[in-house]
Structure 1
Amino acid sequence: MEDFLKDIMKTILDNHLREVKLIIKEVPEPDIPWISNDKLAEKLGVSKRQLRYYREKGQLAYTREGKKIWYSVSDINEFMERNHGNN
């Protein structure tokens, strides 16, 4: 009886896993390019500490994925326009 239940559970889990994989394949990739914290600091010629200051003050939108910080290109462009557009 125990083996029978294990087989049923395995079949159910395998079916769900197949369904999830199909769903994941159907989700389109985001159209928004993202830049990592390290790359943005390098491209702007500022320190990571300066980027943290902008984030903490709410001046630069970001997304956190685990320990990684990402910025959308559109948010970076808005930030640059607001802060450096008149220079």
Structure 2
Amino acid sequence: MQLTTAAPQRRNAVRRDADGMAVASFVLGLVGLLVFNIFLGPIAIVLASVALHRNTTRRGRAYLGLGLGIADLLVLAAFMSADNTMSWSLGG
């Protein structure tokens, strides 16, 4: 009988992918606070959720990405309600 090491290797690959998703969600959420928050916010939320579902070892970073993604959408909503448009700008 031959023992295979495919299962542990697959598990490590899934965990490594989940760790990458956690870091990506954090970075996208952070950048989304400044630019393209209507796109980067939801992407950060989805990546963080998938990373948490796949049991990432970087849970803190995934939670930060989730929070920043939600903050992106809140910032967008606040700026949109301030000038009643579908976009926001820092200039007057």
Larger relative contact order (C-alpha < 8 A, sep ≥ 6)?
A: 2
TM-score range, shorter chain: 0.3 to 0.5
Task: Say which structure is richer in helix.
Answer: 2
Give the TM-score of the pair, scaled to structure 2.
Answer: 0.33
Give the TM-score of the pair, scaled to structure 1.
Answer: 0.35
Larger Rg: 1
